[in-house]
Chains A and B, each alone.
Chain A
């Protein structure tokens, strides 16, 4: 489904990685390893299309993502370092407008249910700027619950989360994989995710 071919990424004068190849099928989890500055975030952003690869290409269902941007985006959910949550809007409004923007038919019940599940029950109608860092992260994670995308790209999704939430997110990822979804993620925390097929890409092990 997702295939990375001969990918090279250069930031400034520094070549982060080159000749990177891997592919990801439905139900597979890709665990991206690497030290700080090894290019994990750059790789994830390149896969999403936020960064243009210097060399190589990202293929989705056999075609370059550049030529099918909208189709690819419809099947992609990206969670980066920034939450993408508006502080002036409530958690509910954030999810409602987010759903409408991505063209999903999300009912009010779905949103309340998602917020309840992610541990924000009773805080749906507070502006998210008064929430704590971890709670804001949970609002961003609630997007995953509503998303119908098959590919999840998660950049350090566990930061700022408490133990309970880390567990919950791990379960969420497992459930997504079981439904035949794909997950690419990176973390520095030790997290136990039970998945049928786990691939590992270690950016430190590539010679650049």
Chain B
């Protein structure tokens, strides 16, 4: 077998590999629908507890709505992090992934995108309903969706690094919360800040630019960190 054939086949294969990773993880998520639905229901239930626990008064709920929905989104994302690499680690697929002739960080990006499509995007799509439940106005709901659309990918990206770092560690699920939640704080502050600013008629473009900047930085840095953590986890 000649080297030329092999290398040319592989170079053209990065996109194919990336797509295969995405298809694979989406198929796996479809076959394990219960896992996906659990974190979605947590999102809905946590938000629904607030009218019961705090006050059914619409004026009170309207004030806390962006914060409540954002915190619930953080919790739901956290719950879904566990399955990102754990199964692959256990059945040996992760080893095979590390031995693929492609940059690992690119494959990680494919996995994170699959995770976001399954665990992040549904939160964005559900948020208007929950916003209405807490008495938010139309424009504020739109703004909430935009902040979640920019913010949830950041949560998935940072979460991937946390999940990779805690692979194979006993009690990894709790540890990942301790690692990742502090890193989610800036996203939470800016995300809810944007909606609050919008509600009180102030300028919120700065907040959205900041969220966008977070997303770009996370896209550039976290796949590399995740890849490094994955290499350590199989040692």
Residues in chain A within 8 A of chain B (CB atoms): 48-52, 70-71, 73-76, 78, 80-89, 93, 97-98, 100-105, 127, 148, 150, 179
Contacts and interface: CB of A to CB of B under 8 A. Distances in A.
A78 B91 CA distance: 14
Interface of B: 1, 6-7, 9-10, 12-14, 16-17, 19-21, 23-24, 27-28, 31-32, 87, 90-93, 95-103, 107, 234-235
A9 to B, nearest CB: 11
A101 B24 CA distance: 10
Nearest to B30: A88
A111 to B, nearest CB: 14
Contact of B93 (A78, A81, A86): A86
In the A-B complex, the 4 residue pairs with the closest CB atoms: A103-B13, A82-B92, A100-B20, A74-B101
A78 B96 contact: yes
Given A51-B235, A97-B23, A101-B17, A70 B99 contact: no
B17 A100 contact: yes
Nearest to A61: B3
B95 A80 contact: yes
A78 B27 contact: no
Contacts of A81: 92
Contacts of B91: 82-87
B10 A93 contact: no
Nearest to A102: B100
B10 A74 contact: yes
A83 B94 CA distance: 11
Contact of B100 (A51, A71, A82, A101): A101
Given A83-B91, A104-B9, A88 B16 contact: no
A48 B17 CA distance: 20
A84 B6 contact: no
- Main SS class of interface, B: helix
Contact of A50 (B16, B87, B95): B95
Contacts of B19: 100
A87 B90 CA distance: 11
Given A88-B32, A100-B20, A150-B1, A49 B99 contact: yes
Most buried by A among B9, B92, B107: B92
Nearest to A42: B235
B92 A97 contact: no
A82 B21 CA distance: 19
B9 A101 contact: no
Nearest to B89: A82
18 contacts: A50-B235, A74-B7, A75-B6, A78-B96, A80-B92, A81-B92, A84-B91, A85-B91, A86-B93, A87-B91, A100-B16, A100-B17, A101-B97, A101-B102, A102-B10, A104-B13, A127-B31, A150-B1
B31 A50 contact: no
Given A50-B235, A78-B96, A102-B17, 11 more contacts: A50-B99, A50-B234, A70-B10, A74-B7, A74-B101, A86-B24, A88-B31, A93-B27, A97-B24, A103-B13, A103-B17
Contacts of A73: 99-101
B95 A52 contact: no
A127 B102 CA distance: 27
B37 to A, nearest CB: 16
A36 B74 CA distance: 46
A130 to B, nearest CB: 13
Given A50-B234, A82-B91, A93-B27, A98 B13 contact: no
